[in-house]
Structure 1
Amino acid sequence: MIKNRFAALAVIILVYILAVFGGIFAYEFFNATYSYQISLLLADITATVIVFIFSLVFNNASVYDPYWSVQPPVILAATIAKVCDFSELSGSLVLSLLLFAVVAFWAFRLTANWAYNFESFEYQDWRYVMLRQKSGKLYGFVNFFGIHLFPTIVVYLCILPAVTVVHEGAVFQPWCIVFIAISFLAVIFQGIADIQMHAFRNSGTAGFIHTGLWKKSRHPNYACEILMWWGIGLASVVALGGNLILLTGATVNTLMFLFVSIPLADKHQARKPGFEEYKKSTRML
Structure 2
Amino acid sequence: MGREEVFPSTGFVPASACCLCYALVAAVFGLAFAVPQHADPWYNGLLASVGATLVVFGFAYCYRNTSIYDPFWCWYPLFAAVGWMATASSAPSARGWYTLVLIAGWILRYNVSWPWEGWLHGIRTEDWRYVMMAKKLGLTDSLGAGYWLLVSLASSHLVPTMLVWSVLGPVEKVWTAGSEASPLGPLDAVAAAASLGGIALQFVADRSLRTFRQRSAGAAGAAQAKSLETQVC
Say yes or no: TM over 0.5: yes
Aligned AA (2:149)? F
Taking the aligned partners of 1:177 and 1:186, their CA distance within structure 2 comes to 14
- Number of residue pairs matched? 197
Kindly indicate whether structure 1 or structure 2 has the higher relative contact order, using CA contacts under 8 Å at least 6 residues apart.
2
Give, in whole Å, the separation in 1 of the partners of 2:172 and 2:206: 28
Q: 2:208 aligns with which of 196, 199, 203?
A: 196
Task: Indicate the residue corresponding to 1:181 in structure 2.
Answer: 193
One-letter amino acid of the structure 2 residue matched with residue 198 of structure 1: R
Distance 1:41 1:152, change over 3 A: same
1:134 Cα deviation from its structure 2 partner: 2.8
Gaps of 5+ in 1: 87-91, 208-285
CA deviations on 1:145-181 (whole Å, 9 max, x unpaired) are: 1110111111122122332112223222221110121
Match of 1:98 in 2: 98
Say if 1:139 and 1:98 are closer, same or farther in 2 by CA, change over 3 A.
Answer: same
Shift of 1:31: 3.6
CA contact (8 A) 1:76 1:163 kept: yes
Structure 1 position 83, deviation (Å): 1.7
Greater Cα offset, 53-62 or 20-29: 20-29
CA distance in 1, matches of 2:188, 2:89: 19
| Alignment-derived partner of residue 141 in structure 1 | 149
Bigger mean CA offset, 70-79 vs 198-207: 198-207
Q: TM-score, normalised by structure 1?
A: 0.62
Letter in 1 for 2:148: G
* Cα displacement (A) at 1:28: 4.1
Q: Quick check: which has more Rg, 1 or 2?
A: 2
Q: What one-letter code is carried by the residue in structure 1 that aligns with 2:200?
A: I
Q: TM-score scaled by structure 2?
A: 0.75
1:37–1:116 distance in 2 versus 1, CA, 3 Å: closer
> Could you give the per-residue CA deviations for residues 57-106 of structure 1, whole angstroms, max 9, x where no partner exists?
121111001011101111112222222745xxxxx621111101111100
| Counterparts in 2 of 1:44 and 1:199: CA distance versus 1, 3 Å | same
* Aligned-pair Cα RMSD in Å: 2.4
1:19-34 aligned at under 5 Å gives the runs: 19-29=25-35, 31-32=37-38, 34=39
Asked if 1:155 is matched to 2:167, the reply is: no
CA positional deviation for 1:182:
0.6
The 8 Å contact of residues 68 and 152 in structure 1, kept in 2 or not, is answered as yes
Counterpart check, 1:123 vs 2:125: yes
Percent identity reads 26
Tell me the secondary structure at the aligned position of residue 121 of structure 1.
Answer: coil
